[in-house]
Amino acid sequence: MLLLATLIALSQDAAQPGLSDLLSRVAEEAEVLQQNAPKSLTLEILEQRALKPATRFRPRLGKAATVPQPPRLVVRQIISEYSVGALKESAVQNLTELRQVISVDGRRVQSAERARHALSLGITSPDDRVRKRMLEDFASHGLVDIATDYGIFLLAFSKRGLENMKVAISGEEPVGADPAWVLTWQQTSPDGGVLEFLGNQASRRALQGRLLVRKSDGLPLRIHAWSEHSQAGHTIRDEATVDYVQSPHGFLTPASVVHRHMVDGQVITENLYRYEPFKMFSADAEIKFTELETPPQPPPPIKK
């Protein structure tokens, strides 16, 4: 029995790859995404479900006048042209998500062509104010607790990003039909964290979580990330799950992001981001896009 247990243990150890080999594979995919993301474009569909305070209207008569009104659930849908670019003012030229809103709750804000034109200007413009206005525009449509940069969080696992991260192999877990290794990770600096808009405040926080990589080839498939902090006597937690797929152009792209903002264990806001297949484009005087089809008409507005 002792010999059998020893043989099984040796077999398991041999089957498990070295951590450095896995991280090298992940960093390679992060570098490929770094190179190709600024040259790509897709359609992003955001559905937000948020608990908001009750309306100011209150009955003036009867028992109802004394009963506190429960919070109301508000559902919004934002469809945007989406790409990735670098902010010049960043000392390390970090990439950030860029958006141009097409429709809000089924109401068209601008045409897809105009959105693509503005997006391409933001990517190629030397003026960072253009890109900042994109973020402000995205947040100006009444959404709350917006989280951005989760879709490209794989970039945090570049060689440079891994220098500020603790990582360990902690088991295995399937992702769909693919067996995967589970890597637990923790950032030691907030610089590589995602950008969160909570109310009127924007901040970056160091995150921790799990990275699932396919057993057969080490391809990153899913990232779980979360952070917690105290604020005004409450425990604030943000968590997200990002699923990646291989694009036809040979680099990983986000398929979906589920982000939840919680206060004292209660989900206050849930953001579900879904992405159409990414297309490569080249921006010139006529802003030509390759393999870019006309985006589908937005679905009817979601009933609140």
pLDDT digits (tens, 9 = 90+) for 42-51: 999 999 998 8
pLDDT tens sequence across 147-204 = 778 999 999 999 999 999 999 999 999 999 999 999 999 999 877 676 666 555 666 7
> In the prediction, which pLDDT does 200 show?
56
pLDDT tens-digit profile of 11-36?
A: 444 467 899 999 999 999 999 999 99
Q: Is the pTM of this model over 0.75?
A: yes
Phi, psi at residue 186, to the nearest 5°? -150, 125
61 band by pLDDT with thresholds 50, 70 and 90:
low
